[in-house]
């Protein structure tokens, strides 16, 4: 346990330098771009060569908690089965390198399972069981125990005193910041465990589901893949391709949740989704009126 936590602690990444701080990285990237543009296309002629996509992070608005733990992720292509790195994106450490609070992830999973659950178990009380309106025998004189009805809980076949009553809701709301922390912890865990990929966009060349299967096999993505884009409307091709595959699921960024992230082995986000999630989560982590998120649950409030 200690070894696991020490591995995920946010220190000793000496080789990683923040892209936005380091101008030489950007300069060398520009040089490599020129080299790419000038050289002959050694890759197949179908894939056009474009300059590499370098997306640095702007730390001016939200200063990270731990400035040393900048994370970077490759931006991968979706236009071919074979993996090709299209660029690099710098991820904000408060969202993607947060302390992985395993206890909070567990609470989130438990909440997601339980808050919608309605129990339909039902037992009859002594008033509902058929019969038992009459006093079975007189109060005194029989030598037997005194009883008022044959359907009291003491009797075989009688009603149940404190049994389940259908329908019973198990609704409760987890505190807002536990849910935010659950998302940041799970994203950090996914990145730390190599189950996180960033793709440029969700456009694929064919409607064939074999393309997706080959892509997953080629890149060694997990058995199940969750593809997240910013909006809920996805391009046609990916919708047709993943329609019959139960283990590849598409999701908009506003639906992202801890349970789905853990259920699917690999998490794939588009650049738009990454930017949107970072912006929303960082706002919630730094907002001034956080006390408003506490209090009684209202239906029109997060």
Partner 1 sequence: MAATTKLTLWPKLSQQLIRLINTQPALHSNFRSSKVVEPLDQYPEVEIVHNAPEWKYVERLLPPRIVPQPKPKESYPSGWQPQTANASERSYYIARTKNHMVPVYLHTRFRGQRRLTVVRRVQGDIWALERDLRAVVESARNGKLCASRVNELSGQIYFHGDYVDVLRDHLKSQGF
Binding stretches for partner 1 (CB under 8 A): 1-2, 5-6, 9-12, 14, 61-63, 65-66, 68-69, 99, 101-104, 283, 285-290
Note whether 255 and 264 are within 8 A (CB): no
Per-residue burial over 234-261, b = 16 or more CB atoms within 10 Å of its CB, e = otherwise:
beebbeebbeeeeebebbebeebbbbbb
CA distance 54 to 21: 13
Nearer to partner 1, 229 or 278 (CB): 278
CB within 8 Å of 84: residues ≥ 6 apart: 43, 47, 76, 77
Cα 93 from Cα 68, distance rounded (Å): 9
- 188 and 98 Cβ atoms separated by less than 8 Å: yes
When the beta carbons of 62 and 196 are compared against partner 1, the nearer one is: 62
Residue 41 CB partners (closer than 8 Å, separation 6+)? 49
Which of 10, 260 has the CB closer to partner 1? Answer: 10
Distance CA 193, CA 247 (A): 20
Instruction: Report, in Å, the least distance between residue 73 CB and partner 1.
Output: 20
| Residue 57 tokens, joined | 């992070």
Q: What minimum distance in Å lies between the beta carbon of 90 and partner 1?
A: 18
**Closer CB to partner 1, residue 98 or residue 267?**
98
CA distance 95 to 106: 18
DSSP state of 42: -
Minimum distance of partner 1 from residue 276's CB (angstroms): 17
Q: Which is nearer to partner 1, 204 or 262 (CB)?
A: 262
Residue whose CB is less far from partner 1, 12 or 145: 12
Minimum CB–partner distance for residue 259 and partner 1 (Å): 20
Tokens of 63: 């200063």
CB of 185 to partner 1, least distance (A): 11
Tokens matching residue 122? 């039902």
User: CB 65 → partner 1: shortest distance, Å?
Assistant: 5
Residue with tokens 């029109």: 300
Residue 64 CB neighbour total at 10 angstroms? 19
Q: Please report how close the Cβ of residue 271 comes to partner 1 at its closest, in angstroms.
A: 23
Q: Which of 132, 265, 137 is nearest to 197 (CA)?
A: 265
Nearest CB to partner 1, comparing residues 111 and 221? 111
Residue with smaller CB distance to partner 1, 84 or 286: 286
What CA–CA distance (Å, rounded) separates 31 from 18?
A: 19
Q: Least distance to partner 1 from the beta carbon of 94, Å?
A: 10
């Amino acid at each position: 346990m200690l070894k696991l936590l020490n591995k995920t602690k946010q220190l000793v990444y000496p080789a990683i330098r923040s892209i936005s701080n380091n101008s030489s990285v950007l300069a060398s990237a520009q040089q490599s771009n020129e080299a790419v543009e000038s050289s002959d296309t050694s890759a197949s002629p179908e894939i056009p060569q474009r300059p590499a996509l370098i997306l640095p992070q702007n730390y001016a608005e939200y200063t990270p908690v731990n400035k040393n733990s900048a994370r970077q992720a490759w931006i991968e292509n979706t236009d071919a089965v074979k993996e090709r790195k299209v660029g690099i994106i710098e991820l904000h450490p408060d969202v993607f390198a947060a302390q992985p609070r395993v206890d909070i992830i567990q609470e989130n999973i438990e909440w997601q399972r339980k808050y919608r659950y309605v129990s339909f178990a039902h037992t009859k009380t002594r008033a509902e069981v058929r019969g038992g309106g009459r006093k079975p025998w007189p109060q005194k004189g029989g030598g037997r125990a005194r009883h008022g009805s044959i359907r009291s809980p003491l009797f075989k076949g009688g009603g149940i005193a404190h049994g389940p009553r259908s329908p019973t809701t198990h609704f409760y709301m987890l505190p807002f910041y536990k849910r935010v922390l659950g998302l940041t912890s799970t994203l950090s865990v996914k990145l730390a465990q190599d189950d996180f990929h960033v793709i440029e966009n969700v456009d694929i060349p064919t409607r064939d589901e074999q393309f997706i299967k080959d892509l997953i096999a080629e890149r060694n993505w997990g058995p199940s893949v969750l593809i997240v884009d910013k909006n809920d409307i996805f391009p046609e091709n990916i919708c047709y391709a993943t329609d019959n595959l139960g283990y590849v699921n598409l999701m908009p960024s506003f639906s992202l949740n801890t349970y789905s992230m853990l259920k699917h082995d690999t998490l794939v986000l588009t650049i738009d989704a990454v930017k949107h999630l970072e912006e929303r989560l960082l706002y919630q982590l730094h907002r001034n009126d956080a006390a408003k998120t506490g209090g009684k649950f209202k239906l029109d409030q997060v």
